Amino acid sequence: MSPFDYAQGKKPSSSPPVADTTGHSGASKIMNQCLSWLGKTVKVKIDRKIGSKHPNPKYKTVYPVNYGFIPGTHSEVDNEEIDAYVLGPKEPLEEFEGKVIAIIQRKDSEIKLVVTDGKDYTIEEIKELTYFQEKYHQSEIKK
């Protein structure tokens, strides 16, 4: 089962997909797999709603977009599910189903999906909309 099948709510026959993004040869494999998500529909569980503050009080970040994760995936970089920026909706959401239009890969190999309501965004627009958080990281956007 592919990670995007799992993200679409299909039940796995074994353990959830693992994103080996540790910077080893597995990172290339998972990036290729993530790139195959481009154009696919995924479900995002929102855990940082638009307008909310970062959960760690030492950060002053207020989220200008909805931000969450793809249930059933796993990133070995942070031992959490693969994160996703949700671009388009202007109201706080609990969940969102949308199209993957880009992948952000950080220098530490962590991967973030960019999911929209179908609208396409340029790389420059994605950079602007994710700058609030990506400014702390060296990252590359792939479409």
Q: pTM for this one?
A: 0.78
pLDDT in tens, 39-94: 999 999 999 999 999 998 988 899 999 999 999 988 777 788 999 999 999 999 99
Question: What residues contact residue 23 under an 8 Å CB cut-off, 6+ apart?
Answer: 108, 109
Task: Walk me through the domains of the chain, giving residue ranges and CATH numbers.
Answer: 3-142 (3.90.80)
Q: How many other C-beta atoms are found inside a 10 Å radius of the C-beta of residue 70? A: 27
Question: Cα–Cα distance between 134 and 110 in angstroms, integer?
Answer: 12
